[in-house]
Homo-oligomer: A and B are copies of this chain.
Amino acid sequence: MPNPPTIKEIAQRLNLATSTVSRALHNHPRIGLKTRMQVQALAKELQYEPNQTAIFFQQKKTFTLGIILPELSEAFFSAAISGIEDTANQHNYMVLLGQSHDDTEREKKIVEIMKNHRVDGLLVSLAKNTVQYAHFDMLRKYNIPVVFFDRIPDMKDIHYVACNMESGTVQAVSLLLQQGHRVIGMINGPEKLIASRQRTTGYRKAMQQQRLKYDATLNVHADLSREGTRQAMQQLLSHKRKVTAIVAFNDYVSQDAVQYALEQGLQINRDICFVSYANLPLSSYMAFPPLASVEQYPYQQGQKATEILLALLADKLSPEDYQQVIIDSRLVIAPGR
**How many residues on A have C-beta within 8 angstroms of the other chain's C-beta atoms?**
51
Q: Which residue on chain B has the smallest CB distance to residue A78? A: B78
Instruction: Assess whether A287 is interfacial by the CB under 8 Å rule.
Output: yes
Residue in B73, B85, B113 whose CB lies within 8 Å of A94:
B113
Q: A-side binding surface: helix, strand, loop or mixed? A: mixed
Residues of B within 8 A of A282 (CB): 280, 282, 285
* A97-122 Cβ-contact flags toward B at 8 Å (1 or 0): 11100000000001001111110000
Asked whether, in the complex, the Cβ of A52 is within 8 Å of the Cβ of B118, the reply is yes
User: How long is the Cα–Cα vector from A97 to B302 in the complex, in angstroms?
Assistant: 15
Residues of B within 8 A of A60 (CB): 53
Report copies per complex: 2
Residue in B1, B62, B78 whose CB lies within 8 Å of A73:
B78
* A249-287 Cβ-contact flags toward B at 8 Å (1 or 0): 001000100000000000000000000000011100111
Asked whether, in the complex, the Cβ of A95 is within 8 Å of the Cβ of B94, the reply is no
Instruction: Assess whether A72 is interfacial by the CB under 8 Å rule.
Output: yes
User: How long is the Cα–Cα vector from A85 to B110 in the complex, in angstroms?
Assistant: 12
Known contacts A50-B116, A51-B118, A53-B53; decide if A75 and B72 are in contact (CB<8 Å).
no
- Measured between C-beta atoms, what is the minimum distance from A118 to chain B in Å? 5
Residues of B within 8 A of A71 (CB): 82
User: How long is the Cα–Cα vector from A71 to B82 in the complex, in angstroms?
Assistant: 8
Residue in B97, B98, B115, B285 whose CB lies within 8 Å of A287:
B285
- Measured between C-beta atoms, what is the minimum distance from A5 to chain B in Å? 11
Residues of B within 8 A of A1 (CB): 141, 143
Residues of B within 8 A of A113 (CB): 92, 94
A19-62: which residues lie under 8 A (CB-CB) from chain B? 49-54, 56-57, 60, 62
Asked whether, in the complex, the Cβ of B285 is within 8 Å of the Cβ of A52, the reply is no
Residues of B within 8 A of A89 (CB): 98, 110
Instruction: Assess whether A79 is interfacial by the CB under 8 Å rule.
Output: yes
Q: Which residue on chain B has the smallest CB distance to residue A251? A: B285
Instruction: Assess whether A190 is interfacial by the CB under 8 Å rule.
Output: no
Instruction: Assess whether A176 is interfacial by the CB under 8 Å rule.
Output: no
Instruction: Assess whether A96 is interfacial by the CB under 8 Å rule.
Output: yes
Q: Besides A53-B57, A57-B57, A97-B97, 17 other CB < 8 A contacts? A: A1-B143, A4-B142, A49-B116, A51-B57, A54-B57, A56-B56, A72-B78, A73-B75, A73-B79, A78-B78, A85-B99, A86-B99, A94-B117, A95-B96, A251-B285, A280-B285, A282-B285
- Measured between C-beta atoms, what is the minimum distance from A148 to chain B in Å? 19
